[in-house]
Structure formats: structure tokens, C-alpha cells
Structure 1
Amino acid sequence: MMARYGYARISTDEQTHDPQVLELKREGLEEIITDTLSGRIPAVERPGLSSLLKRLVKGDSVVVAKLDRLGRDTVDVMGLVRNLTEQGVRVRILNIGIETGTPNGQLFLTILAGFAQFEREIIRERTKAGLAAVRLAGVQLGRRPVLTSSQRTHVCELKKAGRSLAEIAKIFKVSRSTVWRTLKCGV
């Protein structure tokens, strides 16, 4: 037998589930699962949604009042909706009148996938531009070197003087591999 579940999420205790729950009850849903967590929290870490996802079987439906109740960004929502659709679970979004098991729903899913890809590309471009700007400003990215420039020079001098990697590492209180990488790079 196919089951229909409602899902409502709010981000803070100052908000209330009431408007979403009212819409879901108007839809004829008796079982409504709620969460009070930010949409940034992945679906599997939201107690209510996580327990619901474990119960769903092929033919079931998940109904939400608004798409953003499933997650904060397109990529996450798209992943969740795609996984449910692949399991044969329909997702119905009341405020836009879409259900994934219909031709209109499939069109919506395709458009949503396009937006998700677009969002990923924009984030990637912004990240690259930000890193390039930081490099142009002369900021060195990554971990700071364990040894200063003068210490690296001293490491090379000690090695030329016949000291072992272990001895040099002990002097500078670093690992042997740090000394080895310093010698390999030639200061």
C-alpha cells in the first residue's frame, strides 16, 4: 500500500511549523514529520527527515509545502529529489504544484538539475577568481612552512656537515620527513 508523508521544516525555535502543517493537512496528510534545523544541515543529519527516508518504499510520496523546506541550496535539494525518484518515491511540492511522478514533474526535475549544475559552476568560478585575487595580492595559500627560510638553509648546512636526518629533525623539533622535503627542495 502506498503511503503519503508530509514533511515540514523550520530553521529556528522562534519560527513555527503551523503554516506548513496546515497546508499539509489540507492536502489530506495525517502523518507529518517535522524538523527544527537549518536547511544547511544535510538531509541524513536531520532526525525527522532521516527517519522518514529510512521508511520510504517504492510507491510512497513525500509532500512538502515549499521546495526550500527540503534543503537550502539547489544542489542538495536536487540530490535528495533525484535519490527519491530513483527509489520510486514521488515528491510533491504544494506551492508550485509539482509532483515528480508526472511529465510536468519530470520537466521540473530536469530544469532543477540544470540550475544545480549552473550553481556548481558559478561557485567554482567564484572560488577560482577569489584564489587568483589572493595570489595576486601576494598571499601564500596552503599551510605555512614549518621551518623559516633561515632554518631551511641551516638544515642544508647541517646535512652537508654530515648530520643524519634524525639528528637534524631532533634539533629543529620536526619530523624526519620535513627535513627530507626541505633537502629535496633545496631550501
Structure 2
Amino acid sequence: MKKVVIFARVSSTNGTQDYERQINDLQALASANNWTVEAVFAEKVSGAKKNTERTELMNMIDYINSHNIDKVIVTELSRLGRDTLQVLQAIEILNQNKVSVFIQNYNIETLTPEGEINPMSQFLITILAEVARMERKTIRERVASGYQNFRNNGGKVGRRIGYTKSDEAMREEYAEELRLLKRGYSLRNTSKLTGTSINTLRKLTQLT
């Protein structure tokens, strides 16, 4: 019998009703498939946060790693995060831990019974990845345009020559990354959760 956890995401205005609907739907799904629900995690929709700042997501990841959970079940893909990049990061970190995500409204899961990437879910994730790439490209273009406008008006950007961050500044800026590294998360998994490059994380390991 497969062991699963339920992950729900609810709004702050209609949280209780939406939460109960998701839990009821997913408990019925688990019962129909002879899965055992070991735990339920739910978070309220809030402002922009890194995955590492999402308490319930981090609690769930810790739980599945210590309880040999087989699957995470959600009613729909958007329940994993507020935007495409956040969803992708959550899926990747779970897949790397050999925990499949079952998405009820698509009736697919991210891993096969053998623990390999499911081709259909990979197709969906590939589309999402492209959407995320386009979103990041748009953001970069806006930032570049803002920098150029600043320069055109006589401003200067970038670090002054010879500038390096102090250890204290690094600890403050990368507090979440350091917390994960100290808890034993690998460089790759920490990078997936935070978006911080592996090269930067290697430097941070010298501060732990």
C-alpha cells in the first residue's frame, strides 16, 4: 500500500471552504487507489515568497524524507505554488527525492512506478519550463531597460572595483540557503529550492 501526503493551497478569504473541498477530494482519490494518507499539509496564498520561506512546503519536504512517503497528491498543479517557477522548483525537489506528485485534475503523476520521469508529465513540465523561461526573459529585459535608462541619465551601476562581500553580509543575504545546507540538503536540492547558483552555494559551505 502506497503512503501519500496531501498538499493543499488555499486563499486567505475563502480558506476553510476551499481547504475542506480539496481535502475531501484527495481523501476520496486516495481511498479509490488504496493509498494511505499519512499527513495533510496546507498553506494560505500570500505574497511573493521563496520556496524556502514557505513553512508548510518545507515541513512537508522534511516529513516525506523522514517517513518514506511515496507520493504527494494535489488537486491541481497550481496548488504547488503561486507561479510557474515556484511550481517547477517544488516538483523538481520532490522528484529528486524519488517522491512522485500526483495531479488530480490531469490524472497524471510525475514519476513512473519505477521512479523514472513520466513522459506525459515531462511534456507538461517542459511547457511550464518554457513559460517560466519567457517570464524570466521578460523580467531581465525590463531590468536591463531600467539600467540603461539609469545610465543614460548619468547613473552608475555595479559594484565598485575591488569590492567583495563580507562573511557577515553573505550570512545575512543567504540566510535561507545556509539554513538548508546546515540541515543537510545537497547543493543541487538547495539550488532547486532557492534559485541560488551552485557556485554561490559552494562558497556558502565555507561559512557553515
Shorter-normalised TM-score: what interval? 0.5 to 0.7
Cα distance in 2 for residues equivalent to 1:90 and 1:52: 13
Q: CA RMSD in A?
A: 2.6
Q: CA deviation at 1:39?
A: 6.2
**2:27 maps to what in 1?**
25
Aligned amino acid, residue 104 of structure 2: L
Q: CA deviation at 1:11?
A: 3.5
2:110 equivalent among 87, 97, 100: 100
Going from structure 1 to structure 2, the CA distance change for 1:134 and 1:28 (only over 3 Å counts) comes to same
- Gapped runs of 5+ residues in structure 2? 32-36, 112-117, 159-208
Contact 1:59 / 1:89 at 8 angstroms: preserved in 2? yes
**Aligned positions, number:** 142
Q: CA deviation at 1:100?
A: 0.6
Q: CA deviation at 1:135?
A: 4.1
Q: CA deviation at 1:63?
A: 1.1
Going from structure 1 to structure 2, the CA distance change for 1:90 and 1:142 (only over 3 Å counts) comes to same
Aligned amino acid, residue 9 of structure 1: R
TM-score relative to the length of structure 1: 0.64
Aligned amino acid, residue 134 of structure 2: F
Q: Which runs of 4+ in 1 moved over 6 A?
A: none
Contact 1:90 / 1:99 at 8 angstroms: preserved in 2? yes
Residues 149-184 of structure 1, C-alpha deviations (whole Å, 9 max, x = no match): xxxxxxxxxxxxxxxxxxxxxxxxxxxxxxxxxxxx
Q: CA deviation at 1:43?
A: 3.0
1:65 equivalent among 59, 70, 75: 75
**1:6 maps to what in 2?**
6
Contact 2:147 / 2:157 at 8 angstroms: preserved in 1? no
- Gapped runs of 5+ residues in structure 1? 144-187
TM-score relative to the length of structure 2: 0.58
